[in-house]
Copies of this chain bind each other. A is one copy, B any other.
């Protein structure tokens, strides 16, 4: 089911899917902000002297520069939220939510989505070439944190000449970035929408990430992280990591509804280790396609950043301290069947915001689709996003979209 297409894409580039993906690491088909000898200080105590951030924009920045919305992507996302992906040609990962007339309305807002620091789609990460050696960083790239990602995004926003964002929106690891934006650059965020996220990674979540990292590092083709230099790729390990993680993105109910114990293209079990069950075939497919589109070291770095995220620890043990004096309008969203970031985690955010006296609303969406619901066509969720952003836009003095012309009689 995986394509090994060698046809060129719209930009005329050629090569295998994997080669074209890898081409995006240093020379992405995206807008690029380069920071040369313009150090980015990192939580690890080091600074990246030269670095870059790749991003996409949608819509038009208004004259007062007051309509910018920053989207923050999740662990395995990228900057291609609402455009065709330059390599796969597929719609963006938030195409159903972002666009003209959609809940994040690009007729009204100027939408920015940047690849995170540590990623592998054009922003500096472990697969990028270290300018001091001419070789990929690999594990010599400093470990980054969610706060580092946000610090890099803030530099991008400054460079774009945007003094204050209208809104920051993101789910899962993207939601962690939203919280970090509100905590660190609160005065520069009018509205914030953290979705399916938490103020810290739980013990169980760290455990799942650790299984994934060990799977990658157990693969002899990982080569201590130097696989790009050595011409190998830890495909099997990364595939196992993705399979384990994928289970956590969906609910037991959704798996039962979608697959149950249905067999894959057969009437009876084979008494062997082929993918007898559809769920096995599905998971294997998730693993093998992921390997084509993601860098293994990036996976280590970004899971680590999530594990390290702990807003309370950053603020004297109290999440509420992160939000004292917050003038941001908050809307926190959770999904009933999300067991990676259950509603209890969202309530913890809401309680902290309330304790800090912030303006916060909370929406729990009833769905059986699990954590990944924030990426799916989920009408109640889309209504909540639209409602929150419309209300905030009005309060912020951003012109609503022109009403659709009446149909011809």
Contact = CB atoms under 8 A, between A and B. Distances in A.
A214 B15 CA distance: 29
Given A211-B244, A280-B206, A237 B218 contact: yes
A78 interface: no
Contacts of A14: none
Interface residues of A, number: 55
A309 to B, nearest CB: 10
* Residues of A contacting B: mostly: helix
A336 to B, nearest CB: 16
A166 B143 CA distance: 60
Given A210-B279, A211-B283, A247-B207, A239 B255 contact: no
Interface in A119-158: 139, 142-143
Contact of A243 (B210, B260, B313): B210
Contacts of A256: 202-204
B273 A304 contact: yes
A200 B261 contact: yes
A169 to B, nearest CB: 27
B255 A203 contact: yes
A214 B243 contact: yes
Which A-B residue pairs are the 3 nearest by beta carbons? A218-B236, A44-B271, A143-B271
Interface of A: 43-45, 139, 142-143, 200-204, 206-208, 210-211, 213-215, 217-220, 236-237, 239-240, 243-244, 247, 252, 255-256, 258-261, 269, 271-273, 275-277, 279-280, 283-284, 287, 300, 304, 307-308, 310, 313
